[in-house]
Amino acid sequence: PDYELCKSGKSQSPIDISAPSRSNLDLLSFHYKDTPLNILNNGHTVQVTYGLGSFINLDGEYYNLLQFHFHGPSEHTVNGKPTPMEVHLVHKNTQGGLAVVSVMMTTGKEHAAIEKIWSSIPAKVWGKVNNEKVSVNGTQLLPESRSYYHYPGSLTTPPCSEGVRWYVMQVPIEVSKDQIAKFKSVIGFNARPVQELNGRKVQENN
List Cα–Cα distances, 76 to 68, 99, 105, 187, 199, in angstroms: 16, 15, 11, 18, 17
Show which residues are catalytic: 44
Q: How far is CA 71 from the centre of its chain?
A: 8
Q: Which of 48, 58, 135 shows the shortest CA–CA distance to 101?
A: 58
User: From the CB of residue 168, how many other CB atoms can be counted at a distance below 10 Å?
Assistant: 27
Distances (CA, A) of 98 to 12, 80, 164, 167: 14, 26, 5, 11
Taking alpha carbons only, the member of 101, 29, 87 closest to residue 62 is 29
Q: What's the alpha-carbon Rg for the chain, to the nearest Å?
A: 16
d(CA 111, CA 114): 5
- Greatest CA span in the chain, whole angstroms? 48
